[in-house]
């Protein structure tokens, strides 16, 4: 009897097109799910008859409470080689092998700049007005050349965002709790003396930090109040790094020129969520890693992981 493989959150119905699953045809039935399951009960019911689950990034938590409700589960594959929402101890205790895939940091770098440029030049407003027969030229764009880009985080993604900013002729400053002057010099940017000074001095601020106990709520109401009223904030990292209530208040009160976000406290974003209607907000539905090349890697290596597991030699094991 063939094993059953569930592919979660395949919103674009792209998983089976992004990779060649045919090598598994004799052994595995692949079932994509194009809608998100709203809670653990729904997820447990849907996955009860599956032996393999493929999940995207950290969009679906797999705590012990869920894993214990999936008696047939034997292989869990998550895209990327880092996942903080899987209970590895529970997986091991229940005989579930957990594997990952490679993942490129290029797509989130590109999306960061799409959001930043879209905000700076009013692209959504201008495009909508043009298509609707509205006013010709509504906005006066914000310049990038000569302005200061402040980066919270200078890792794989932040450093590449920095290089693009330098290419635009921006002055780039970076800060994080562990960032050294030596590494900032190596990337070619200034080390911010403090988080507060970086926020106060920057015309554009972009968040590129991993979510942890140290970074959760890093930007609250006091920090957002330091931003210039002409400044723009971009967050393609994790929503919880920025206090969402404080961010909404700043947007509604006009204390910041604009915000670009790709991450939210609840995903998918509920229909009535205030982020859907907030002013001065350019938002995308967590598209950071969603690109043709990344999907080809995610699902292509998922197929390889399943083949290796069936052969008794799992690869790219996590934890």
d(CA 181, CA 175): 10
- The mean pLDDT value for 122-134 works out to 96
- The mean pLDDT value for 121-131 works out to 96
d(CA 216, CA 265): 12
pLDDT at 279: 97
- The mean pLDDT value for 158-168 works out to 98
pLDDT at 104: 97
Using alpha carbons, select from 292, 219, 225 the residue that is nearest to residue 254: 225
- The mean pLDDT value for 4-20 works out to 97
d(CA 153, CA 170): 17
pLDDT over 90 at 204, yes or no: yes
Active site amino acids? 238, 267, 286
pLDDT at 240: 97
What angle separates helix 106-120 from helix 156-167, to the nearest 10 degrees?
Answer: 40
Q: Return the structure tokens found at 71.
A: 């008696």
pLDDT over 90 at 131, yes or no: yes
- Average pLDDT over the chain reads 97
Torsion sign (Cα): 303, 304, 306, 307: positive
Contacts of 87 (CB under 8 A, 6+ apart): 62, 63, 64, 67
Q: What is the pLDDT of residues 15-32, one digit of tens each?
A: 999 999 999 999 999 999
d(CA 232, CA 203): 6
- The mean pLDDT value for 275-294 works out to 97
pLDDT level of residue 124 (50, 70, 90 thresholds): very high
d(CA 2, CA 173): 55
DSSP state of 261: E
pLDDT at 153: 98
Q: What is the pLDDT of residues 228-241, one digit of tens each?
A: 999 999 999 999 99
Place of tokens 């895209």: 79
- How many CA atoms lie less than 13 Å away from 88 in the CB half-sphere? 10
d(CA 70, CA 60): 14
pLDDT over 90 at 1, yes or no: no
pLDDT at 278: 97
d(CA 123, CA 126): 5
pLDDT at 238: 96
d(CA 138, CA 21): 49
What is the percent of the chain with per-residue pLDDT over 90, rounded to a whole number? 99
Contacts of 162 (CB under 8 A, 6+ apart): 149, 151, 154, 172, 174, 187, 188, 189
Longest dimension (CA), the chain: 64
- How many CA atoms lie less than 13 Å away from 171 in the CB half-sphere? 10
Q: What is the pLDDT of residues 63-89, one digit of tens each?
A: 999 999 999 999 999 999 999 999 999
Residues in the chain: 319
Cis-peptide into 268, omega within 30 deg? yes
User: Phi, psi at residue 191, to the nearest 5°?
Assistant: -85, 120
- The mean pLDDT value for 152-163 works out to 98
User: Phi, psi at residue 60, to the nearest 5°?
Assistant: -125, 115
Using alpha carbons, select from 155, 193, 194, 191 the residue that is nearest to residue 174: 191
Identify the burial level of 211 via C-beta atoms within 10 angstroms of its C-beta, where 0-12 means exposed, 13-18 middle and 19 or more buried: middle
- The mean pLDDT value for 39-54 works out to 97
């Amino acid at each position: 009897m063939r094993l059953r493989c569930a592919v979660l959150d395949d919103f674009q119905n792209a998983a089976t097109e992004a990779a060649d699953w045919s090598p598994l045809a004799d052994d595995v039935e692949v079932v994509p799910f194009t809608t998100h399951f709203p809670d653990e009960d729904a997820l447990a019911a849907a996955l009860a008859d599956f032996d393999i689950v493929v999940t995207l990034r950290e969009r679906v938590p797999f705590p012990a409470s869920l894993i214990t409700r999936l008696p047939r589960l034997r292989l869990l594959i998550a895209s990327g080689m880092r996942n903080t929402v899987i209970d590895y101890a529970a997986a091991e205790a229940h005989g579930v092998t957990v594997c990952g895939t490679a993942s490129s940091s290029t797509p989130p770098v590109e999306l960061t700049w799409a959001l930043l440029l879209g905000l700076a030049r009013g692209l959504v407003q201008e495009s909508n007005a043009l298509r609707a027969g509205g006013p010709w030229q509504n906005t006066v764009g914000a310049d990038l050349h000569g302005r200061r880009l402040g980066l919270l985080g200078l890792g794989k993604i932040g450093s590449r965002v920095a290089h693009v900013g330098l290419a635009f002729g921006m002055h780039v400053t970076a800060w994080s709790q562990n960032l050294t002057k030596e590494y900032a010099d190596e990337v070619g940017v200034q080390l911010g003396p403090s988080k507060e000074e970086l926020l106060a001095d920057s015309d554009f601020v972009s968040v590129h930090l991993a979510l942890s106990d140290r970074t959760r709520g890093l930007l609250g109401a006091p920090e957002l109040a330091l931003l210039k009223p002409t400044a723009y904030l971009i967050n393609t990292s994790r929503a919880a790094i920025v206090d969402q209530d404080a961010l909404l208040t700043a947007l509604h009160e006009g204390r910041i020129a604009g915000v670009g976000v790709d991450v939210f406290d609840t995903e998918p974003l509920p229909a009535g969520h205030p982020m859907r209607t907030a002013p001065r907000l350019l938002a995308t539905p967590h598209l950071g890693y969603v690109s043709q090349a990344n999907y080809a890697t995610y699902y292509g290596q998922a197929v390889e992981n399943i083949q290796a597991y069936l052969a008794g030699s799992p690869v790219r094991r996590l934890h």
